[in-house]
Structure 1
Amino acid sequence: MGTEVLKRIKNKILGIEAEHMMAIEGLTKIAVIGGGSWATAIVKILTEQSHVQIRWWLRNKADIQHIRQFHHNPSYLSDVHLPPKKIKVYEQVAEALKGSHFVILAVPAAFIRDSLAGLQARHFHGKVIVSAIKGMIPQENLLVTDWMAATYGVPLEQTCVIAGPCHAEEVALEKQSFLTIASTNLSTAASFAKYMTCRFVAARPLGDLYGVEYAAVMKNIVAMACGITHGLGYGDNFQAVLVANAMQEIGRFVSTLDPRERELTSSAYLGDLLVTSYSQFSRNRLFGNMIGRGYSVKAAQLEMKMIAEGYYATRSIMELNKAYAVSLPITQAVHAILYADQSPAAVMEDLKNHLA
C-alpha cells in the first residue's frame, strides 16, 4: 500500500477519533490564547456556535475582571457582547488549555514565547493547535506552526492556520467575511473550519499550510510599503502597481520555500493581501503611513499601541532569504527604511525602477 494512501487513512482515522471524542463530551472546548482585537473577534465568531465552550486566556487581569463582570473586552472591540454562558475566562494559560480540543493562538508572534511560558509538550498533547498569528517568531525566523512543532512537539498534521481576508473590526460589525483554514491535513482544517463558520463568516479548508502562512506574513510587509507610499503622497495608481508586483514577489518566495501547485489569485493569498494593503483597519498600513509621514519607528510604535506584525516579519524574511536569494525588492525596500534608517522618499524613488 502506497505511502500517500496510508497517510490518507491515518488522517481519516485521526479525524474520526477527534469527532468521536467531541461527541462523547457533548461540547467542543476551544481555548483562545490572547486578549487583542483578533482574539476578541474569534471569540465572537465562536459564540455563534451552539455546542462550543470557549476557554479564554488574557494576560491583562483587569480586562479579565471586567469581562467577567460586564461581558465585553474593555480594551479591544468593546462593543462586542461576550455571553458568559459560553465563555470561561482564565488567568492561568494551563487552566484554559485543560480539556480543550482546539487551542487558538492569537497573540503577536513576538509575545508567543512569554504567553506560553511554563507549558510543556503534555499540555498540547492530542489537541489541534490553530495559529491566528500572522507573523514569525523573531530571532528564530520560524513560522508559528514550525515553532510549535520544534518547541512542544506538536505534529504538523495537528496544526492549522487562520487566514483572511478578514479584519477583526468588520467581524465585530458582523460584516460578511471569509476565512481560510489551512493545514497539511485537510481533515484537520475541515474539522476546525466548521467552528469558524457562522451567519456572517464563511470558512473554507485548504491543504496549503506553508503557502498560506508565508503569504500571511509577507502581506503585512506589503501593507507597510503601501502605507509608506501613501504617507509620502503617492496615489492609487502607484499602489496598484506596488500590490501587483508584491503578489509576484510573494509567489516567488513561497514557491522557492515550498514548491507545489497553488492558485495565488484565490482569497487566502490575493484576497488577504488586498484587504491588508487597502483597508482603513490595517494596522500594518497605518504603521507604514506614519513612517512615510516622518515618524520614527519608535514613535510610530508608541502612538499605535498595537503590534504591527510586518515590522518583525521584515527582518525575519530578509534573514531567511539569505539562504535562498529570491528577488524581493519590496521587502528589501521596507527593510532599508525600518532597519537601515534610510530615507523613505529615496528608497521608494529607487523602488520604482524595480517595478513592472
Structure 2
Amino acid sequence: MKYNILAINPGSTSTKLALYENDKEIFCNTLEHSAEEIEKYDKIQDQFEMRKNLVISSLLEKGYDIKSLSAVVGRGGMVPKVKSGAYKVNETMVDRLKFNPVIEHASNLGALIAYEIANEVNISAYIYDSVRVDELNDVARISGMPEISRTSTSHALNSRAMAMKVAKMNGKKYSDMNFVVAHLGGGISVSVHEKGRMVDILADDEGPFSPERAGRVPCKELIDLCYSGEFDKKTMNKKLRGNGGLKAYLNTVDVREVDEMIERNDEKAKLILEAMAYQVAKGIGDLSTVVEGKVDAIVLTGGIAYSKRITALIKKRVEFIAPVEIMPGENEMESLAMGILRVLKGEEEASEYSE
C-alpha cells in the first residue's frame, strides 16, 4: 500500500514542509520568512494565510497535486495536556489554537495549515507528538510552590522518535525500555521515558542552559534582578529565552563557532561549553533517579549532537548510568511523517482531541 504524507513544521522564521511516500522522502523544502515579513503581523495567528499560501505554492512548483495525498500532519502546537502520539485535528483543536492557545507559538500554525489543506481533498489532518505532550506522573507535578504546578513542554517529537530508533536497533520495542533523552538544540530539554511514556522532563527553563536560553538559574538572585529597576519584563524574558546561555557569555548561538574559539585556545569558551555539557549531564543524572537508575540507554540528539566535543564531555559523565547513543539532528520532518505512517498502517491509533 502506498501512502503519501505531507508534513508541515512552522518555526519562528521559517516553515518546513516535506513529502514522504511511505518511509521515503520525496522532497523537503524550507520556506524562509524575513524579519520584515514577520513584523507585518501583530499575532502569530495572523500569519496563517501567508504561510499556508507559501506551502501550496511550493507544492505547485514541485508539480505535486494535493489530491494524491493520503494524510497531512502538522507540528503539534500549544494545546493543553495531550498524551504522546497522533491526534486527529478537529474543530475543537482548531478553535483552541486560534482563539485560546496556551502560548502564542509558531507551532500552533502546523495543525491549522494541515487541517485547511486536508479539508480541500477530504482526507484527515493530524498532529504528532506536540510540544505539549504531558504524561508526567502526579508526583512530578509538585513544584514546591502550590501556586505553580510543573507541566510538560519539551522536544517530544524528536526525543521519542530517536528513543524508538534506539529500541529498534536493540531489537526491542520502545514500550519495553527505559530511556533518558537529551535534545540539544537552540533550547535544551531532557526527558525520561519509562516503558513508552514520558513520565518527567527538565524543560528549557528548569534544566541546562543552551545556546540562547539561560535554563535553570538561582531563583533568589533572579527575583532580585527582576525588581532591581534596571530591566523591564520584556528584557528579563529575553535574558531567559533568546539572549541567555552561550549568547550571553560568548555572543554566539553556534556551537561550531565555540568549537573554533576553543581550537584557538580561548579558555573562556572552553569553560562555558564544558559548563553546558556539565549541566546536561546533571540533568541526565537527575532524571535517571525517576526510574531508580534502571536506564536501558541514554540518547543524545538534536543539532548540537553533531559536536563531538560536547557529546564526549557529556558521555564521560553519564556512561556509568547506561550506554550512550548519539543520534544527531532535529529529525522533525521524518518523525512527523513516520508517526502518521504508523497510524495509516494500523500500527498506532490516533486520539480524538477534546477539551
For the aligned pair, the TM-score class normalised by the smaller chain equals 0.3 to 0.5
Could you tell me the TM-score, scaled by structure 1's length? 0.33
Which has more helix, going by share of residues? 1
Could you tell me the TM-score, scaled by structure 2's length? 0.33
